[in-house]
């Protein structure tokens, strides 16, 4: 009897994160990493503390931030895990811990921080 | 008056286990005409220059799947690759990638054949059928659902193309998984459950990373990349369906 | 007449190494570039994680993060991340037809080109809508 792989679980996260990052990744990088810091098309206070706090305290805003961080992280972890295998680093425990472990850490830190920020 | 034929250099990666420890390149000058395939070039070499060159071939018309080899680093059928398109050369010919070389351009086929046999490549009836019930009837749509995947000629070009198979020879591989899908997708077949074990294993669909080169090189348009990757969804559904009750349940 | 002859095989199958398998093959290079976009997604997730951490630590910490995002290093990094995200979007929908079971609509098989173009169009719309939402949210 061949052993059933647990890949489907991680693959679904990879797929969801892949779709989300494919649809929103470019815009989010542009907004947060270029437009806001440079004041291009957006006011310099677009991501000011009061505004971002309000966004993250909002139930939907909080959910959005969490989903983006978590799915992006799990998508990347799964793909990097397989890419390491492609360049000669086998599917071993060290590789799994590095990749999926980092996604888990990001997920937990994001969850903790978002809960800490509180709700309205 | 006949023109002097054009010459092309064909370099063959030789390997004779009884005389060398590692493969070695050997070069041949071959006169060719516009209609000659690489296979005919090799046949010229064997007939006129060096009878020791070993290679498989049969039909000369891209249907038997015997003559697969790397031609200028691309998995190709030598009977379907033409010297005129590779001129001025040199044409580099090696045994199919990712498979152990037995001799010259011949690779070990046994593991592939064993995998083919392991997937139950035959119709498993959904229920007992008597002769009196007559033949199965199938609509054009039902035929279309699996026909493309039945075009495989077992040439193994997709295995030479697949880096995941190269990195892990235990991977069931594109061609075998395409054949598995051919049976699952056939309306006459009821053996999907029996084949799930192969799909669900790490060496099943989950070794595939959608490189897609297999479909790129397939001479018959089987599209094994599609066969494998659409079954990731089936395998994932099967993975989670375990947790739901079957008796009058949701699935 | 039976004879027992022990024939020693000369078979010694030769296994070729896989190192550098993707180099020199345009198809494989494209594949590796596609897969490498995951590094950008990972880095960006990390940037956002740190951001959200700083947000939770209070205004001073958050403003520190905002200042860091203005540094030349951060700006050039995000330029690279942006390019990578675009490559990810393009390559994601490029491979999408291979991941789907064949679909027949009105008697015609849904082509790979149709699926790709639909994906790219939806992505372009999502991009524009997100930017517009951002701009309008400032009103």
Across C112-129, average pLDDT: 98
Binding partners of B (≥3 Cβ pairs within 8 A): A, C
Residue of A3, A11, A85 lying closest to B236 (CB–CB): A11
Q: Which residue of C has its CA nearest to B19?
A: C10
In the predicted structure, residue B250 carries a pLDDT above the cut 70: no
C18 touches chain B (CB under 8 A): yes
Mutate to test the interface with A, among B118, B229, B239 (most CBs of A within 10 A): B239
A84 touches chain C (CB under 8 A): no
Across B216-223, average pLDDT: 98
Residues from chain C that touch A11, judged by Cβ atoms under 8 A, are: none
What is the domain extent for residue C41? 26-95
- pLDDT tens, position by position, B28-65: 999 999 999 999 999 999 999 999 999 999 999 999 99
Report percent pLDDT > 90 for chain A. 91
Residues from chain B that touch C35, judged by Cβ atoms under 8 A, are: 209
CATH number of the domain residue C36 falls in: 1.20.1300.10
Res. B242 pLDDT band, cuts 50 70 90: confident
Residue C137 in domain: no
With CB atoms and an 8 Å threshold, state whether A21 touches C88: yes
| Prediction ipTM score | 0.96
Across C26-44, average pLDDT: 98
- How many beta-carbon contacts under 8 Å exist across A and C? 157
With CB atoms and an 8 Å threshold, state whether B23 touches C14: yes
In the predicted structure, residue C4 carries a pLDDT above the cut 60: yes
How far away is chain B from the Cα of A106, in angstroms, using its nearest Cα? 25
In the predicted structure, residue B149 carries a pLDDT above the cut 60: yes
* HEC assignment per residue over B193-240: HHHHHHHHECCCHHHCCCCCHHHHHCCCCCCHHHHHHHHHHHHHHHHH
How far away is chain B from the Cα of A104, in angstroms, using its nearest Cα? 22
With CB atoms and an 8 Å threshold, state whether B198 touches A85: no
With CB atoms and an 8 Å threshold, state whether A29 touches C38: no
With CB atoms and an 8 Å threshold, state whether B236 touches A1: no
Q: Look at chain C and report how many structural domains it folds into.
A: 1
Mutate to test the interface with C, among B226, B227, B236 (most CBs of C within 10 A): B226
Mutate to test the interface with A, among C42, C75, C99, C100 (most CBs of A within 10 A): C42
Across C5-12, average pLDDT: 85
Q: State the Cα–Cα distance between residues B139 and B130, nearest whole angstrom.
A: 21
Residues from chain B that touch A7, judged by Cβ atoms under 8 A, are: 202, 206
Q: Which domains does chain A have, with CATH numbers?
A: 10-21+50-117 (1.20.1300.10)
In the predicted structure, residue A44 carries a pLDDT above the cut 90: no
Q: Which domains does chain B have, with CATH numbers?
A: 6-107 (3.10.20.30), 110-241 (1.10.1060.10)
Q: Which two tokens stand for residue B136?
A: 């199965």
Q: State the Cα–Cα distance between residues A57 and A51, nearest whole angstrom.
A: 10
Across all residues in chain C, what is the average pLDDT?
94
Residue of B17, B22, B212 lying closest to C95 (CB–CB): B212
Q: How many CB atoms lie within 10 A of CB A101?
A: 13
B26 φ, ψ to 5°?
A: -135, 135
Res. C39 pLDDT band, cuts 50 70 90: very high
Q: State the Cα–Cα distance between residues B100 and B78, nearest whole angstrom.
A: 19
Q: Which residue of A has its CA nearest to B196?
A: A4
In the predicted structure, residue C5 carries a pLDDT above the cut 90: no
Binding partners of C (≥3 Cβ pairs within 8 A): A, B
Across B8-30, average pLDDT: 97
- Could you tell me what percentage of chain B is helix, strand and coil, using 3-state DSSP and rounding each to the nearest 5? 40, 15, 45
With CB atoms and an 8 Å threshold, state whether B236 touches A8: yes
* Cβ–Cβ under 8 Å, residues B206 and B212: no
Q: Which of C43-52, C71-80, C106-115 has the lowest mean pLDDT?
A: C106-115
Cis amide linkage into residue B63, ω under 30° from 0: no
pLDDT of amino acid B219? 98
In the predicted structure, residue A26 carries a pLDDT above the cut 90: yes
Q: What is the DSSP code string of A46-97? A: TT-HHHHHHHHHSHHHHHHHHHHHHHHHHHHHHHHHHHHHHTT--S-HHHHH
How far away is chain B from the Cα of C116, in angstroms, using its nearest Cα? 14
State how far the alpha carbon of B196 is from the alpha carbons of B59, B95, B146, B205, C65, in Å.
35, 33, 17, 10, 50
User: Considering only residues 24 to 83 of chain C, which have any Cβ-Cβ distance to chain A shorter than 8 Å?
Assistant: 32, 35-36, 38-39, 41-42, 44-49, 51-53, 55-56, 59, 62-63, 66, 69-70, 74-75, 77-79, 81-82
């Amino acid at each position: 009897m061949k052993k059933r792989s647990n890949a489907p679980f991680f693959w679904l996260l990879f797929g969801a994160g892949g779709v989300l990052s494919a649809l929103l990744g470019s815009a989010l990088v542009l907004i947060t990493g270029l437009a806001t810091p440079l004041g291009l098309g957006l006011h310099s206070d677009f991501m000011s503390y009061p505004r971002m706090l309000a966004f993250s305290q909002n139930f939907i805003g909080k959910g959005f931030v969490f989903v983006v961080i978590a799915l992006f992280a799990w998508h990347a972890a799964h793909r990097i895990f397989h890419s390491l295998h492609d360049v000669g680093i086998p599917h071993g425990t060290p590789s799994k811990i590095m990749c999926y472990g980092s996604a888990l850490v990001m997920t937990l830190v994001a969850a903790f921080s978002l809960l800490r920020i509180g709700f309205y | 008056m006949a023109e002097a034929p054009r010459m092309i250099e064909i370099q063959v990666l030789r390997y004779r286990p009884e005389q060398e420890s590692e493969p070695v390149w050997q070069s041949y000058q071959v006169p060719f005409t516009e209609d000659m395939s690489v296979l005919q070039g090799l046949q010229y070499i064997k007939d006129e220059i060096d009878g020791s060159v070993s290679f498989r071939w049969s039909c000369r018309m891209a249907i038997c799947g015997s003559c697969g080899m790397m031609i200028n680093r691309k998995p190709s059928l030598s009977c379907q690759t033409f010297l005129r398109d590779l001129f001025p050369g040199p044409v580099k010919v090696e045994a199919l990638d990712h498979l152990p070389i037995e001799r010259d351009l011949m690779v070990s086929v046994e593991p592939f054949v064993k995998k083919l046999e392991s997937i139950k490549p035959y119709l498993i009836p959904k229920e007992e059928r008597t002769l009196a019930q007559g033949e199965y009837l199938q609509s054009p749509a039902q035929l279309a659902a699996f026909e493309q995947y039945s075009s495989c000629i077992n040439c193994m070009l997709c295995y030479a193309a697949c880096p995941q198979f190269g990195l892990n020879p235990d991977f069931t591989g594109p061609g075998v998984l395409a054949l598995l899908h051919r049976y699952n997708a056939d309306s006459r077949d009821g053996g999907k459950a029996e084949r799930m074990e192969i799909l669900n294993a790490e060496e099943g669909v989950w070794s595939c990373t959608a490189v897609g080169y297999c479909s790129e090189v397939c001479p018959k348009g089987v599209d094994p990349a599609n066969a494998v990757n659409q079954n990731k969804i089936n395998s994932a559904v099967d993975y989670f369906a375990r947790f739901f009750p079957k008796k009058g349940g949701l699935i | 007449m039976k004879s027992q002859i022990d024939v020693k095989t000369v078979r010694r199958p030769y296994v070729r190494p896989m190192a550098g398998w993707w180099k020199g093959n345009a198809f494989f290079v494209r594949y590796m570039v596609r897969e490498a976009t995951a590094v950008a997604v990972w880095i960006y997730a990390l940037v956002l994680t740190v951001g959200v951490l700083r947000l939770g630590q209070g205004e001073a910490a958050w403003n520190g993060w905002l200042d860091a995002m203005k540094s030349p290093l951060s700006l050039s990094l995000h330029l690279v991340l942006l390019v990578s995200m675009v490559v990810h979007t393009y390559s994601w929908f490029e491979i999408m037809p291979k991941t789907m079971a064949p679909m027949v609509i009105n008697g015609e098989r849904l082509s790979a080109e149709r699926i790709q173009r639909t994906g790219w169009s939806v992505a372009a719309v999502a991009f524009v809508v997100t930017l517009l939402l951002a701009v309008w949210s400032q009103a």
